[in-house]
Amino acid sequence: MLVRDYMTHDVVTIDPEARLSDGLNMMRAHNIHRLPVVEDNLLVGIVSEKDLLYALPSADRPISWVEASAQAAALPVRQVMRQDLVTVGPDCPIELAATTMADHKIGALPVVSPPESRTLVGIITETDIFRLFIEMLGSRAPGVRASLEINNRKGALASLFNRVVEAGGLIASVSSFPAVSPNRLRIILKVADVDQDTMRSLLKPEETVIDLREIQEAR
């Protein structure tokens, strides 16, 4: 999966000479929290809702949209935008984009193409990553969800999947995570067309399955 598969293509942007109040109003209108700043069709910065509000004088209480709009009337976005940009290309693997966001402690990455350019073609945010995470875990798919630890050896997953399929189960989703022991692998498995009792018997501890941590019906 690549960034292009989950990024927003129709990006809402702002001019660097626009007022902070314009930026706040655009964020409110589009229900977003950051705006790429584009000048002459090139990405020159990014500004977040937090950047705008931090730039405004306020009392010892949260500032309202009305107050923010009034105080920001004369300030240009250029004064508060961030220019030390971290960007990504559309063909970047999605997990690398997520790692980049986590490492830099940022909530979004402007997508530029070609990668060394400043031509904006999209934006990928933490919300897009959450959406992917939900899809990977099959959160909205019906079935029996099981969390287990298996032996991390060649053929272990194939053996487990064959057992489920032979019992008439349809594997809706599977995700794997490192366990504490390097010889183990944590699995979250969601299977349709079987009941909990059948799944429990299929996943009872033996050579492949070490520990069935929990099992429940997911709807």
Q: What is the pLDDT of residues 122-175, one digit of tens each?
A: 999 999 999 998 888 888 888 999 999 999 989 888 999 999 999 999 999 999
Which of 133, 150, 170 is the last residue before a domain boundary? 133
Q: Structural domain tally of the chain?
A: 2
Number of neighbours of residue 143 by Cβ within 10 angstroms: 21
- Say whether both 99 and 172 belong to one domain: no
- Say whether both 143 and 209 belong to one domain: yes
CATH number, domain at 129? 3.10.580.10
Which residues span the domain enclosing 148?
137-218
Per-residue pLDDT, 92: 96
How far is 40 from 174, CA to CA, in rounded Å?
45
- Say whether both 105 and 178 belong to one domain: no
Per-residue pLDDT, 53: 78
Banded model confidence at residue 112, pLDDT cuts 50, 70, 90: very high
Which of 133, 155, 177 is the last residue before a domain boundary? 133
Mean pLDDT of 166-193: 91
- Say whether both 106 and 9 belong to one domain: yes
CATH number, domain at 144? 3.30.70.260
- Say whether both 128 and 169 belong to one domain: no
- Say whether both 183 and 113 belong to one domain: no
Mean pLDDT of the chain, nearest integer: 89
Could you give phi then psi for residue 173, rounded to 5 degrees?
A: -160, 155
Question: pTM here?
Answer: 0.78
Number of neighbours of residue 63 by Cβ within 10 angstroms: 17
Per-residue pLDDT, 66: 60
How far is 62 from 64, CA to CA, in rounded Å?
6
Per-residue pLDDT, 217: 87
Q: What is the pLDDT of residues 6-31, one digit of tens each?
A: 999 999 999 999 998 889 899 999 99
**Residue 120 · residue 36 · CB < 8 Å:** yes
